[in-house]
C-alpha cells in the first residue's frame, strides 16, 4: 500500500474521530454532571441533520444550515430536558435507559412522519466540493479537511470553556459535588438544562456535518451513538480528554482496520476468503479494542474509579 | 390466593385460552400471534433473570436472541442444502430436529453470555449498559459482514424444523411446543428465584458488600445469572427464528434488545410473570395500533415513557396494587 493512500486513510480516520468526539463530548458531559445515560443523544444528531437539510433546501446556504442544526438540536435538547430528562436524575439507570429509549422511538417515528422514509440529501457547498493539495502532494477533499478543523477547534473551545469560564467552573463543581454547589447558590436546574442543550447542540452539529457526506435519514444517529458509547468506555466516563483520545482511537482503528485488514489476510489467504475474514474482523476491531482496554483499565483510560 | 397470584394465573392461562378460542374460530393468524407472544415472553423471562433478579441492566440481550436464531438458521440451512457444517477434524451435519437445535442454541447462548459477561461484569452501572450494548452491536456487524450465512439478507428456511411426533407446521401444535417450553422455563425461573442461588443473587443486587462479607462472590453470582439468562434468551431466539422460518441480523440489532427490555418493563420488573404480560401487551399494541397507524412506535414510545415516569410497577404492579409492589 502506498504511503499517500495510507496518509489519506489516516486523515479519514481523524475526520471520523472528531465527529465521534462531538457526539461523545456531549454524552460524557451529561453523564459526568447529571449522572444520566442518554440513549436519545443519537436522535439529537438526527434532529441536527434534518434541520440542516430542511434549511439548506429552503435557503441554499450551507452556513445557515449549520446554524439551524445547532439551534434545532439545542432547542430539542432543552425541551426534552425540561419535559422528561429532569424527572430522571434521581432514578436508577434502568429507568433512564427506558425513558430515553422511548424518546428514540418517538423522535424516529415522529421524524418519519414529518419527512417521510426517503433519505434527504444535503449538498457540500461548491466552494468546498473539490480537493485541496496538502504538503507532500496529497490530494484530500476540502470538506473533510474542514470537518477535521472544525472538530479540532470545538475540542479546544470546549477545553477552554471547561477550564476557564464561570460556567465551566460550575460544570466541574457539579461533577464533583452536586449538593454543595446548589448550597452555594448556583441554580443547578438551569445549569443542567444548559449542559444538556450544549451537548445536544454538539450532537446536532455533528449530524449536519456528516449529513453532507452521507444521506440524512431516520435512524442515522444510532450507529454513531453506539460508537460514541464505545469511545466513552475507552476514554473513561465524564472525562472530556478521555472522550477526545478515545474518539481518535476509535476513528483511526475503524478506518485503518477496514483498509488494512483485508490486505493483511490477503498475504496468506485466497483473495475472496481474505476479504471476508478481513472485513468481518475489521467490523469488530473497535469492540476488540474496547475489550482490551476493559481488561487492563475497567474504568477507561482517563476515568476515575 | 393473593391478588397478584390470581393475576399470574390469569396471565398464564391467557395465552392458551386465546389460542384455543382462535382454533375454534378457525383463525390461524391469531394462533401465530399467541405463539409469537409466548416466544417473546420467553426471551423476556430470560432477560428478567439478569435484570429483575440480578439487577444487571443488559442492553445486549439481542446478541443471545440472535445467536439462538442463527443456531437454528445455520443448522437448518446445512440440512436443507445437504452440505456438512464441518468436515475436519470430525464431521458435523446440519439438522432439522428441533431438540438438537434448541440444545445448540442454549449452549451457544450460554457460552456467549459467559464471554460477554466475564468482561462486562468487571464493571457496573452505566459502563455495564454501554458495554453490553457494544458487544451486542459487535455481533450485529459481524453477522452483516460475514457472507457465508446470508450477510445482511439473512437466511430463509423452506420448511419449519420438525419435532418427533408432532406436525410443527400446524399453528396450534407449534403453539403448544412454544407454550410448554415457556411454562417449563417459568417453573424453573420461579424455583431459581427462591433457591439459595436466587436469594444470594437478589442479596448481591441489594447489598453487594454484605454478600461479599459472608463469603459469597457477587461477580460469580452475577456471571452465573447472566449465563442462565443468555441461554434462555437464545432458546427463545431459536424458537422465534423457527416461527418466522427466517433469521437475519435484525434479530441481533439493539432495537431487539430494547424491545425485550420493554416486555419486561411493561409487565413489571422482577416479577416472574411480568414478561408474559408485557409480551402479550406488546403484541396486542402492535396489532391494534399498527393497524391504526404506520407510525405506531410513537404511541409505544409515549406509553413506555408514561409507564417509566408514573407507573413504576408496570402492568402487574398497577393491577396488583401497591402493597405487593416489588422492592
pLDDT tens digits, one per residue of A83-92: 999 999 888 8
Residue to test with chain A: of B119, B126, B250, most A Cβ within 10 A: B126
In chain A, what residues touch B295 (CB-CB under 8 Å)? 109-110, 112-113
Average pLDDT over residues B111-129: 91
pLDDT(A194) > 70: yes
pLDDT at A2: 77
Please report how the helices A188-211 and A221-235 are oriented relative to each other, as an axis angle in degrees rounded to 10: 120
Determine, for residues B309 and A112 on separate chains, whether the beta-carbon distance falls below 8 Å.
no
Give the residue from chain B lying closest to A116, CA to CA. B295
Q: Does the domain formed by B3-320 have CATH 1.10.3470?
A: yes
| Residue A293 burial (CB count, 10 A) | 20
Determine, for residues A31 and B126 on separate chains, whether the beta-carbon distance falls below 8 Å.
yes
- Report which DSSP code applies to B147: G
In chain B, what residues touch A291 (CB-CB under 8 Å)? 119, 135
pLDDT at B327: 46
Domain boundaries, chain A: 12-220
Element (H, E) at B315: helix B314-320
Smallest Cβ–Cβ distance between A229 and the set B130, B265, B308 belongs to B130
Whole-angstrom Cα Rg for chain A:
20
pLDDT at A150: 93
In chain B, what residues touch A235 (CB-CB under 8 Å)? none
Average pLDDT over residues B164-189: 92
Q: Do the Cβ atoms of B65 and B244 come closer than 8 Å?
A: no
Model confidence, pTM: 0.89
In chain A, what residues touch B135 (CB-CB under 8 Å)? 287, 291
Q: Please, what is the Cα angle at A202 between A196 and A204, to 5 degrees? A: 100
Please report how the helices B218-244 and B28-48 are oriented relative to each other, as an axis angle in degrees rounded to 10: 170
CA distance B217 to chain A (A): 18
Determine, for residues A283 and B129 on separate chains, whether the beta-carbon distance falls below 8 Å.
no
pLDDT digits (tens, 9 = 90+) for A271-281: 777 777 887 88
Would you place residue B96 in the very low, low, confident or very high pLDDT band (cuts 50, 70, 90)? confident
Q: Which of A127-141, A257-271, B100-114, B258-272 has the highest mean pLDDT?
A: B100-114
In chain B, what residues touch A94 (CB-CB under 8 Å)? 51, 57, 269
Q: Please, what is the Cα angle at B135 between B280 and A217, to 5 degrees? A: 70
Determine, for residues A99 and B254 on separate chains, whether the beta-carbon distance falls below 8 Å.
no
pLDDT at B11: 83
pLDDT at B1: 62
Smallest Cβ–Cβ distance between B135 and the set A105, A232, A287 belongs to A287
Smallest Cβ–Cβ distance between B298 and the set A110, A276, A280 belongs to A110
pLDDT at B324: 45
pLDDT digits (tens, 9 = 90+) for B287-327: 888 888 878 888 889 988 988 888 777 777 777 765 444 44
- The b/e string for B246-268 (b: 16+ C-beta within 10 A; e otherwise) is bbbbbbbbbbbbbbbbbbbbbbb
How many residues are there in chain B? 327
Q: What percent of chain A has pLDDT over 70?
A: 99
Average pLDDT over residues B11-36: 91
Smallest Cβ–Cβ distance between B126 and the set A93, A110, A291 belongs to A93
3-state SS class at A1: coil
pLDDT(A234) > 80: yes
For A:222-241, CB contacts with B below 8 A are 222, 226, 229-230, 232-233, 237
| Residue A272 burial (CB count, 10 A) | 10
pLDDT at A305: 52
DSSP for A249-302? HHHHHHHHHHHHHHHHHHTTS-HHHHHHHHHHHHHHHHHHHHHHHHHH-TT-SS
Residue to test with chain A: of B57, B124, B259, B293, most A Cβ within 10 A: B57
Determine, for residues B301 and A95 on separate chains, whether the beta-carbon distance falls below 8 Å.
no
pLDDT(A295) > 70: yes
pLDDT(B89) > 80: no
In chain B, what residues touch A104 (CB-CB under 8 Å)? 301
**The three cell numbers locating residue A90:** 434521581
Element (H, E) at B220: helix B218-244
pLDDT digits (tens, 9 = 90+) for A97-144: 999 999 999 999 999 999 988 888 888 888 888 888 888 778 888 999
Q: Do the Cβ atoms of A220 and A207 come closer than 8 Å?
A: yes
Q: Is A112 on the interface with B (CB under 8 A)?
A: yes
Looking only at the bridges linking them, the beta strands covering A138-141 and A131-134 are: antiparallel
Would you place residue B157 in the very low, low, confident or very high pLDDT band (cuts 50, 70, 90)? confident
Would you place residue B259 in the very low, low, confident or very high pLDDT band (cuts 50, 70, 90)? very high
Determine, for residues A230 and B130 on separate chains, whether the beta-carbon distance falls below 8 Å.
yes
Would you place residue A1 in the very low, low, confident or very high pLDDT band (cuts 50, 70, 90)? low
Q: Is A94 on the interface with B (CB under 8 A)?
A: yes
pLDDT(A71) > 60: yes
Determine, for residues A94 and B51 on separate chains, whether the beta-carbon distance falls below 8 Å.
yes
Would you place residue A219 in the very low, low, confident or very high pLDDT band (cuts 50, 70, 90)? confident
| Lowest-confidence segment of A75-79, B123-127, B201-205 by average pLDDT | B123-127
pLDDT at B86: 74
For A:22-81, CB contacts with B below 8 A are 31, 37
Q: Is A86 on the interface with B (CB under 8 A)?
A: no
Q: What percent of chain B has pLDDT over 70?
A: 96
Q: Is A103 on the interface with B (CB under 8 A)?
A: yes
pLDDT at B321: 62
Domain boundaries, chain B: 3-320
pLDDT(B90) > 80: no
| B80: phi then psi, degrees, rounded to nearest 5 | -80, -20
Closest C-alpha to B61, from B194, B189, B225 = B225
pLDDT(B117) > 90: yes
Determine, for residues A94 and B309 on separate chains, whether the beta-carbon distance falls below 8 Å.
no
Amino acid at each position: 500500500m502506498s504511503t499517500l493512500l495510507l496518509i489519506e486513510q489516516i486523515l479519514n480516520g481523524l475526520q471520523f474521530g472528531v465527529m465521534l468526539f462531538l457526539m461523545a463530548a456531549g454524552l460524557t458531559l451529561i453523564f459526568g454532571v447529571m449522572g444520566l445515560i442518554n440513549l436519545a443523544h443519537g436522535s439529537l444528531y438526527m434532529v441536527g441533520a434534518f434541520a440542516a437539510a430542511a434549511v439548506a433546501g429552503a435557503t441554499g446556504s450551507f452556513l445557515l444550515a449549520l446554524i439551524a442544526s445547532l439551534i434545532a438540536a439545542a432547542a430539542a435538547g432543552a425541551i426534552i430536558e425540561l419535559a422528561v430528562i429532569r424527572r430522571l436524575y434521581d432514578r436508577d439507570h434502568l429507568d433512564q435507559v427506558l425513558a430515553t429509549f422511548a424518546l428514540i422511538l418517538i423522535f424516529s417515528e415522529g421524524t418519519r412522519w414529518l419527512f417521510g422514509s426517503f433519505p434527504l440529501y444535503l449538498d457540500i457547498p461548491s466552494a468546498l466540493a473539490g480537493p485541496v493539495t496538502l504538503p507532500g502532494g496529497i490530494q484530500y477533499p476540502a470538506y473533510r479537511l474542514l470537518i477535521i478543523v472544525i472538530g479540532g477547534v470545538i475540542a479546544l473551545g470546549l477545553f477552554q470553556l471547561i477550564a476557564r469560564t464561570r460556567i465551566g467552573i460550575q460544570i466541574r463543581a457539579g461533577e464533583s459535588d452536586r449538593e454543595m454547589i446548589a448550597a452555594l447558590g448556583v441554580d443547578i436546574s438551569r445549569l443542567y438544562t444548559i449542559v444538556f442543550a450544549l451537548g445536544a447542540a454538539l450532537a446536532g452539529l455533528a449530524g449536519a456535518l456528516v449529513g453532507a457526506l452521507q444521506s440524512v435519514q431516520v435512524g442515522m444517529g444510532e450507529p454513531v451513538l453506539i460508537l460514541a458509547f464505545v469511545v466513552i468506555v475507552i476514554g473513561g466516563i465524564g472525562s472530556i480528554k478521555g472522550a477526545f483520545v478515545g474518539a481518535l482511537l476509535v476513528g483511526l482503528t475503524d478506518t485503518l482496520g477496514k483498509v488494512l485488514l483485508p490486505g493483511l489476510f490477503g498475504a496468506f489467504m485466497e483473495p475472496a476468503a481474505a476479504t471476508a475474514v478481513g472485513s468481518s474482523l475489521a467490523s469488530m476491531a473497535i469492540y476488540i479494542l474496547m475489550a482490551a482496554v476493559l481488561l487492563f483499565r475497567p474504568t477507561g483510560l482517563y476515568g476515575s474509579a | 390466593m393473593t391478588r397478584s397470584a390470581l393475576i399470574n394465573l390469569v396471565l398464564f392461562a391467557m395465552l392458551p385460552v386465546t389460542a384455543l378460542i382462535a382454533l375454534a374460530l378457525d383463525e390461524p393468524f391469531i394462533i401465530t400471534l399467541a405463539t409469537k407472544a409466548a416466544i417473546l415472553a420467553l426471551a423476556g423471562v430470560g432477560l428478567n433473570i439478569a435484570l429483575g433478579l440480578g439487577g444487571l441492566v443488559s442492553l445486549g440481550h439481542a446478541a443471545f436472541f440472535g445467536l439462538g436464531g442463527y443456531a437454528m438458521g445455520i443448522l437448518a440451512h446445512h440440512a436443507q442444502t445437504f452440505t456438512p457444517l464441518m468436515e475436519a477434524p470430525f464431521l458435523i451435519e446440519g439438522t432439522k430436529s428441533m431438540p438438537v437445535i434448541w440444545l445448540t442454541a442454549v449452549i451457544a447462548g450460554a457460552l456467549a453470555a459467559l464471554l460477554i459477561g466475564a468482561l462486562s461484569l468487571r464493571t457496573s452501572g452505566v459502563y455495564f449498559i454501554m458495554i453490553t450494548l457494544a458487544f451486542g452491536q459487535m455481533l450485529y456487524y459481524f453477522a452483516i459482514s460475514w457472507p457465508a450465512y446470508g450477510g445482511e439478507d439473512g437466511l430463509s428456511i423452506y420448511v419449519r424444523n420438525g419435532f418427533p411426533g408432532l406436525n410443527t407446521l400446524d399453528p396450534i401444535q407449534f403453539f403448544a411446543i412454544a407454550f410448554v417450553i415457556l411454562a417449563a422455563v417459568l417453573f424453573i425461573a420461579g424455583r431459581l428465584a427462591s433457591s439459595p442461588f436466587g436469594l444470594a443473587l437478589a442479596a448481591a443486587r441489594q447489598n453487594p458488600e454484605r454478600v461479599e462479607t459472608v463469603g459469597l462472590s457477587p461477580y460469580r453470582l452475577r456471571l452465573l445469572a447472566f449465563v442462565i439468562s443468555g441461554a434462555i434468551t437464545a432458546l427463545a431466539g431459536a424458537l422465534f427464528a423457527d416461527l418466522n422460518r427466517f433469521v437475519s441480523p435484525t434479530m441481533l440489532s439493539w432495537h431487539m434488545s430494547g424491545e425485550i427490555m420493554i416486555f419486561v418493563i411493561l409487565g413489571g420488573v422482577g416479577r416472574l410473570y411480568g414478561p408474559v404480560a408485557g409480551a402479550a401487551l406488546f403484541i396486542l399494541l402492535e396489532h391494534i395500533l399498527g393497524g391504526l397507524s404506520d407510525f405506531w412506535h410513537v404511541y409505544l414510545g409515549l406509553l413506555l415513557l408514561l409507564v417509566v415516569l408514573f407507573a413504576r410497577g408496570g402492568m402487574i404492579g398497577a393491577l396488583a396494587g401497591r402493597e405487593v409492589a416489588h422492592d
